Amino acid sequence: MKVLVTGTAGFIGSHVALQLLKRGDQVIGLDNLNDYYDVRLKKARLSRLMRHDGYTHVHADLSNRAAMEQAFSRHRPQRVIHLAAQAGVRYAAENPHVYISSNVTGFLHVLEGCRRHGVEHLVFASTSSVYGANGTLPFSEHQSTEHPLTLYAASKKANEQMAHSYAHLYGIPCTGLRFFTVYGPWGRPDMALFLFTKAILAGEPIRVFNYGKHQRSFTYVDDIAEGVIRVLDTVPVKDAAWNAYLPDPQSSSVAPYRIYNIGNEQPVALLRYIEVLEECLGRKAEMELLPMQAGDVPDTAANMTLLRDAVGYVPKVPVETGVAQFVRWYRTYYETLQDERVA
C-alpha cells in the first residue's frame, strides 16, 4: 500500500513508518520538524527512514491548508496514519492558540484530504487522557469521556468527534486509538523515562509527582507500532447492531468508525518503573517527591478487550526488557553525539 504517515520525525511515527517500510509498503512521511525539542533527534529518526527506497518525505505543517492539500493531491495515499501533533501537555497550557492550530485545525486538513482524495482508511492518534476525571479502572471505551482535565485531552476528544462526523457524512472509514503511556528507544526528551535517565546519569535528583504513587499502563513502542498497523489493515464498517435509542460510547457506530484503547493491561507502579531504570543504569536515583501536577490523574489502566477481539493485539514487551532497550539506545545515541562534537 501507499500510506501517508504524519509525524514521521516523531517518536511513535518513526517506529510505525519503519515497520511499514520493512513489510514492503510505500510510506509518504510528513513532518514540519519544529523545534519544540532537539531537531537533531528528529533528523536522526528520519535518517533511519531515508535509507529505504520506499520512503518519501514531505516537509509541511499540518496547519498549512495549501501544503496539506498539495501533499494529498500529489501523492494520493491509499490509507493514512495521523500521528503528528504539537506535543506536550504543559505546552498546551502555555501556548493554547498554537496548540489548537496544530491539533484541531491540522486534523481538519487531514480529514479534508481524506475526503477529497478517496482515502480507504484513516487511523488517528487519540489518548487515554480523554478519560479525564473518570476514576473507574481499567479505562474502557464504554465509559464516558466528557470530563477532560487538560486542553490536550480536549483537543483529542475533539479529534474523535470530528472523525466520527466525517465517517458519517462522507463514508470515510476512521479508527481512533487512545494511546496509553508509550516508552522506548528514540523517545521524546520531555517524557519521564528520558528525563529520569538524563538526571540519574548526571547525578541530579528526579522530580517524582504524586509522591510516586502513580500507576501507568506503560507500553513499549514496538508493541504500539504493531498494533497501529494491525488496525490500519482492519477497515471499519457500519455496525448493523448499533441502537440509536441506547447509544453507547464504545467503538461500534452507525458510521464506519471505531475507537480503541491501545496499551498494556498490566499497569506498573511508577516507583517500580524507576527501580527498573536504576537497575539498568547501575545507579540509584535521588528522588524529589512532589504533589500531583494540575490536570494529571493518579492512575491509568487499559481495558484491551475490544482491540484484542478486533485485531488480536497483545503487547509482549515487559518493562524490564523495554527500559533496558531504552537505556542501551540512550547511551549509544548520546555517545555518538559526543563523538561528533569532539570530531
Could you give the residue numbers annotated as active site?
A: 152
C-alpha cell at 294: 494540575
Of 50, 39, 176, which Cα lies nearest the Cα of 107? Answer: 176
Closest CA to 221 of 95, 321, 92: 321
Side-chain half-sphere of 131: how many Cα atoms within 13 Å? 28
Chain position carrying cell 501507499: 2
Give the 3-state secondary structure of residue 207.
strand
Strands (E), 187-248: 206-208, 215-216, 219-220
Name beta bridge partners: 18. Answer: none
| Backbone phi and psi for residue 205, each to the nearest 5 degrees, phi listed first | -70, 150
Question: Residue 284 carries which DSSP code?
Answer: P
CA distance 157 to 125: 10
Q: What's the chain's length in residues?
A: 343
User: How many whole angstroms separate alpha carbon 95 and alpha carbon 152?
Assistant: 11
Retrieve residue 105's grid coordinates.
485545525
Distance CA 327, CA 186 (A): 10
Residue 12 near residue 221, CB atoms below 8 Å: yes
Cβ 208 vs Cβ 287: under 8 Å: yes
Q: Judge whether 246 and 138 are in contact, CB under 8 Å.
A: no
Cα–Cα distance, 145 to 277 (Å, whole number): 33
Least Cα distance to 54 among 77, 20, 79 occurs for: 20
- Report the run of H or E that residue 30 belongs to, with start and end: strand 26-31
